[in-house]
Structure formats: C-alpha cells, structure tokens
Amino acid sequence: MNIAAGSSTVQITRGTFQTSDGVTLSYLEAGVEYAGSEKLTLAFIPGWSMPASLWRQQLENFGRSYHAVVLDSRGQGESDVPTFGYTAERRARDIHEFLAPVSRVLLVGWSLGALESLECVRLFGTENLAGLVLVDSSVGEEPAPAPEGAFLESLRKDRDKTLRDFSRAIFKTKRTDAEIDDLVRSAKRIALEDSVALLSYPFPRTHWREIARSFNKPLLYVVTPQFEEQARNLKKNRPATRIEVFTNAGHALFVDEPERFNRVIEAFAKSLSR
C-alpha cells in the first residue's frame, strides 16, 4: 500500500521468521548496516488489524541512522493467518521471539501493540530493552475508556462498513479510498472471531497499569487527547515517565504528524545512550 510513500533512498526490505508454534511472521526492515550488538534497534509493533507498512515513514527516517524493524503481527499484514494464537500471551511471545536476535531495543508499541508490548515485558523481562514507547493506548490509568461492546457488535453485524469507518477514523489527515480499501482488505484476512478475540483480552485494567508503573527502564507515553488524562496520571504515579501529547492528530498520529513523531522518538532514542 502507499499510505506512507516517500522519496527516501533508504532501502526497506521484507523478511520472515518462524515462531516457536510454527507460524511464519513477516516484518519490514531498514538500516540493516546499523544492526549490531552495541547498536540500538527501533522495533515498532502495529495496532489491531493494521499492517507494518503504516510505519514506512518511520523506516525511511530512522533507517538513515538506526536499525529499524516493524512486525506484521500474527494474522496481520503479510504474516501467516493461523487459526490459533490470538491471545495476549502468544502475541507477546511473538514479539519476544522477533526481538531475540537483538541485544538493545527501543520497543515502540501502538494501540493494541502497546498492550502486547507490556505483556512481553511482564512475561520476558527487560534484559534486551533500552526503553519502551507506548503510543495512544489505554494503559489502565483513570479515566477508563468507553467499553468495546458497541464496536464489537457493529463488527459482527457489518464487518466491511465497520472496518472502513474504523480505518478512516484513525487518521485526521484525509486518506484516499484506495488506501482505506487496502487497510480493509488487510484487516479481513483474519477470521472475524479471531479479530474479536484480539479486542477481548481477559485482563482487568489494573493488569496493564501495574506493568507500566513497574517498568524499570525509560518509558515514553505518546498520546492524543483521548488518553491525555491517563498520561498525566501515569506520570503522577510513575514520575520518571515522559509524556508527549499530539493535540492535532488522529489515533495513527505517526502517520498524521510523522515529522514531529520522528523527532520525539529520535530525542528519546538519543537520551538512552547517555
């Protein structure tokens, strides 16, 4: 898809790896020449139903000076679509196995990908993490977001329309019909009930809050106004947390305001080497 096309000369390649339960997952990669045991790798985890290709502007930017990778989560993008494994624990293990070859990672999780990144921290620790960025996701602080029930009902009633409305709503900048069509087609690769399972992880909100508050490395929480109060409360309860609020962007803020987002991530990444 062409959501984030650009004229950069940075080479972006696609690779695959096999998980421990036999699923082939795809990923995009840039800045391979910077990969190494002492180098920082920036690893991006997409949100619910979204493909790695949404992060192309980040790959083009960071691939100039960092090793940068974006995972197509199980059932998403160009990864396999198995009939199993749509749990927080399994998707967290996928992230862990994806990052296993890398020794120093700045992990950036967006929306559902932020929660799965937190679950990866809970299950596998922080040994290879230099820092964590949570992007526009509810992390269990107050106030609680609206329940997902109405969205799930709409998804089951009219999947095509619901996915189309969702895909348009995550951007503040207008996207073309072709771009939205690509997102809808990509999202429909996974079975309906498996996509519902990804939005129905059986944890209380305190589960995510406890992981975020106890994270023992640098943490940046980047949000739009819907999660601004949660961000303030996380900083109150975990004072070392850095927060950044994008008031003029949609949920996919890294697409709507890529230059600002990239500057924020760049500054955070540089701070990790001090």
Number of domains within the chain = 1
CA distance 81 to 251: 25
Please answer whether residues 195 and 219 qualify as being in contact, where contact means their C-beta atoms are separated by less than 8 angstroms.
no
pLDDT digits (tens, 9 = 90+) for 77-129: 999 999 999 999 999 999 999 999 999 999 999 999 999 999 999 999 999 99
Indicate which CATH number applies to the domain containing 198.
3.40.50.1820
Please answer whether residues 111 and 105 qualify as being in contact, where contact means their C-beta atoms are separated by less than 8 angstroms.
no
Q: Assess if residue 161 is contained within a domain.
A: yes
Q: Assess if residue 6 is contained within a domain.
A: no
Strand pairing of 242-245 and 219-223? Answer: parallel
Q: Assess if residue 1 is contained within a domain.
A: no
CB-based contacts of 23, cutoff 8 Å, min separation 6: 74, 79, 80, 82, 85, 94
Q: Assess if residue 260 is contained within a domain.
A: yes
Q: Assess if residue 5 is contained within a domain.
A: no
Q: Assess if residue 172 is contained within a domain.
A: yes
The owner of tokens 């932020």 is 114
Start-to-end CA distance of the chain, whole Å, equals 37
The owner of tokens 């009902």 is 153
Q: Assess if residue 46 is contained within a domain.
A: yes
Positions of the chain with pLDDT under 50: 1-7
> What residues make up the domain containing 244?
12-271
Q: Assess if residue 2 is contained within a domain.
A: no
